[in-house]
Amino acid sequence: MLNSLKEEIFFSEKLKIRKKYTNTELKLYQYFYEKTKRIYPENVIVINNFIFFFVGNEYYFKVKLFLHSLRKELNKKVLIIRAENTLINLLFGFFPDIYIHDVKLKIDEDTGLKCVLVYFLSFEERAIAVGCNGEYIKAVNYIFDNYVIFKNHDHSLKIKCELICS
């Protein structure tokens, strides 16, 4: 188990999301700009039935007002995520509407794989975080595997949602 200082340093690491846009994502980028009355997303990522729009903190609440109509018009699971530059803030950004009780880091001694355990208090909250058939957490892990770049280190990171056992 890691000590809390090492966890704190790890979770405060700086990161960026880098992705080359597909034609579909370019169209969604333009659509988002027009729909939200001139707010550009910082990133657009389409994974299966999910569309992730990453926006700056200063625009987050303005853009959230358009979420219902975006979902209705695009007929997809649209998520608006704050474009954060630290790991812990980005993790919380992927789960904005549910209560996260705790976040821990676990490192596999054999492989060196880092696993972030996100703890929830109820089955309902964990179910929301994981999504139907685990699709949401798979999409989040895909983003971390393919598009999240850490500034100081190269990390292989997996996110798991767990239930607090009391």
**CATH number where 141 lies:** 3.30.300.20
Stretch 62-90: mean pLDDT? 95
Q: How many domains does the chain have?
A: 1
pLDDT of 111: 81
Separation of alpha carbons 139 and 143, rounded Å: 6
Separation of alpha carbons 9 and 155, rounded Å: 14
Separation of alpha carbons 155 and 149, rounded Å: 8
pLDDT of 35: 96
Average of per-residue pLDDT values in the chain:
92
Separation of alpha carbons 61 and 53, rounded Å: 13
Q: What angle do CA 83, 126, 166 make, to 5 degrees?
A: 125
Domain ranges, residue 14: 4-163
24 contacts 45 by C-beta, under 8 angstroms: no
At 90-136, the pLDDT tens digits run 999 999 889 999 999 998 888 878 899 999 999 999 999 999 999 99
Residue 53 has a CB neighbour count (10 Å cut-off) of: 24
Give percent of the chain above pLDDT 70: 98
At 45-58, the pLDDT tens digits run 999 999 999 999 99
Tokens 């579909």 belong to 24
Does residue 38 surpass a pLDDT of 70?
yes
Does residue 37 surpass a pLDDT of 60?
yes
pTM: 0.91
